[in-house]
Amino acid sequence: MPRGQAEHPTSYIIAALLLIALWYLASLLLASPELPAPPTVFYAFIAGIRADLGYHILISTFRVVYGIALAGSFAVPLGLLCYINRVDKYTAPVIYLLYPIPHIVLLPLIILLFGIGDLSKIVLIAIIVFFQILVTTRDAARNLSTNYIYSLLSLGATAKDIYRHVILPACLPKILTAMRISVGTSIAVLFFVESFATEKGLGYMIMYAWSRMDYPALYASMVAMALLGLCLYLILECVEKRLCAWIYI
């Protein structure tokens, strides 16, 4: 399907119903408490929202959104500056050296530096997502045709005008795509950082329910984390449709 052609909401509903049907069929075939049926999980989800699940959802949302925003605030300007050869000359080697490192292993060091509170979790999410956004933004800026720049320079544009009217609009679709991809990464990191040394967040709820073998609550927390990622993804997609309307024409 072309990017400019919007998917019909019915397709999402059909896909969701298909997944639920497969889940229900698997629960019937397995007939085990380890895989409760969707209605059981739904009731556990509603009960959790009425209790404290909603609070943990808000905590996890804060950590993910803050982490992505923090990463983007540094990665996007630096990636756009890489259009300048002198900047890219010194930035590219650092990216190539640091990007392949599995940054999740930095968690013990980050906890030592920033403590076990929200800050350490936000910083780790930001570090991991930072490189995803930076690499995509840099590549978008480096692949921009110089013909657009020369056209604007011939009209007397300044460097600020070039970044505002050419480089940023041209790179914005890929920047938002990178941020949408980073949502999935940040949710995965979120589960890891919330699975120990904390008593708040959906990762904690999943591990706590698992330790008590409360499988309906376990799946309800997993569904909540999946819905969190889906909502953030859809929000960024709506932002892209608003800011980059020309690619949907």
More confident residue, 164 or 131: 131
3's tokens? 């990017």
pLDDT band at 249 (very low <50, low <70, confident <90, very high): low
On the question of pLDDT at 8 being above 90, the answer is no
Angle at which helices 53-81 and 118-142 pack, to 10 degrees? Answer: 40
Please report the domains of the chain, with CATH numbers, ordered by start residue: 36-248 (1.10.3720.10)
Q: Express each pLDDT in 144-186 by its tens digit.
A: 877 777 777 777 777 787 888 888 888 999 999 999 989 989 9
Return the sign of the alpha-carbon dihedral for residues 94, 72, 224, 237.
Answer: negative
Distance of alpha carbon 36 from alpha carbon 28, whole angstroms:
9
Distance of alpha carbon 205 from alpha carbon 199, whole angstroms:
8
108's tokens? 């013990």
38's tokens? 């969707």
Local structure of 180: helix, strand or coil: helix
Distance of alpha carbon 140 from alpha carbon 76, whole angstroms:
11
- C-alpha torsion 122→126→128→132, nearest 10: 150
| pLDDT on residue 221 | 92
What is the model's pTM? 0.87
Q: Express each pLDDT in 198-229 by its tens digit.
A: 888 899 999 999 988 889 999 999 999 999 99
pLDDT band at 18 (very low <50, low <70, confident <90, very high): very high
Percent composition of the chain: helix, strand, coil (DSSP 3-state, to 5): 80, 0, 20
| pLDDT on residue 1 | 46
pLDDT band at 31 (very low <50, low <70, confident <90, very high): confident
Q: What is the chain's mean pLDDT, rounded?
A: 86
Distance of alpha carbon 187 from alpha carbon 110, whole angstroms:
18
For residues 47-52, give the mean pLDDT: 84
| pLDDT on residue 219 | 93
Distance of alpha carbon 17 from alpha carbon 30, whole angstroms:
20
204's tokens? 């904690």
Q: Nearest 5°: phi and psi at 92?
A: -55, -45
219's tokens? 């799946």
Q: Express each pLDDT in 56-95 by its tens digit.
A: 999 999 999 999 999 999 999 999 888 888 888 888 888 8
On the question of pLDDT at 6 being above 60, the answer is no
Place of tokens 């969190």: 228
